[in-house]
Amino acid sequence: MIIDLFAIVSNPGIDKEFELDISDMTFESMMGTFKATKASPFRIKINNNAGKSIRINTEGEIHFTVPCDRCLKDCDIAIDLDFENEFGLQNDRLVIEELDEPEYIEGLNLNTDQLVYDEILVNWPMKVLCKEDCKGICNKCGKNLNEGTCDCDRTVVDPRMAAIQDVFNKFKEV
């Protein structure tokens, strides 16, 4: 949705509220393509602060199903979309530093889809784990190690450690 900010920018003191249903959105990024599983209504409040600035407040939460980084099991993640920003006002125009220009603002148009997208991207978890101590999957047989162990030898020898071990073995031989 595009919100035309003209009526807000030119009316000191005015408050406007918008509500968006984002429960069927699809989020596409470098991490992959994810369809939302559920979402609370996304609320945007825009306030003209006495003709001096425009305040934007948002509220919302959206859920996605994302595979665990270690065992690939589906996990539900909730992304918080509460956010606020303020732009100065001058002659009915938003004062935005050229370098800071958010992608969701173009002139006096606020692109809500872009705003939601940016917030999901910023709040996307760095790491997704089905549980804190997820044991992952065996890199030899692929068994989910949370469900039990396997008989594979998974001793990973760090090449640097291996070199030290060699030295020790040499000493032993002497």
Q: Identify the DSSP state of 144.
A: B
Q: Which is nearer to Zn ion, 77 or 108 (CB)?
A: 77
Do the Cβ atoms of 45 and 81 come closer than 8 Å?
A: no
Q: How many whole angstroms separate alpha carbon 45 and alpha carbon 27?
A: 23
Q: Which is nearer to Zn ion, 94 or 150 (CB)?
A: 150
Q: Which is nearer to Zn ion, 58 or 144 (CB)?
A: 144
Q: How many whole angstroms separate alpha carbon 85 and alpha carbon 55?
A: 6
Stretch that binds Zn ion, among 4-12, 40-48, 134-142, 162-170 (CB under 5 A): 134-142
CB of 125 to Zn ion, least distance (A): 13
In SS3 terms, 47-108 reads as EEECCCEEEEEEECEEEEEEECCCCCCEEEEEEECCEEEEEEEECCEEECCHHHCCCCEECC
Q: How many whole angstroms separate alpha carbon 164 and alpha carbon 145?
A: 30
Stretch that binds Zn ion, among 28-36, 89-97, 112-120, 148-156 (CB under 5 A): 148-156
CB of 124 to Zn ion, least distance (A): 18
Q: Tokens representing 169? A: 């073995």
CB of 102 to Zn ion, least distance (A): 35
CB of 148 to Zn ion, least distance (A): 10
Q: Is residue 134 part of the contact set for Zn ion (CB under 5 A)?
A: yes
Q: Which is nearer to Zn ion, 16 or 73 (CB)?
A: 73
Sites of contact with Zn ion (CB under 5 A): 68, 70-71, 73, 130, 134, 138, 140-141, 143, 150, 152
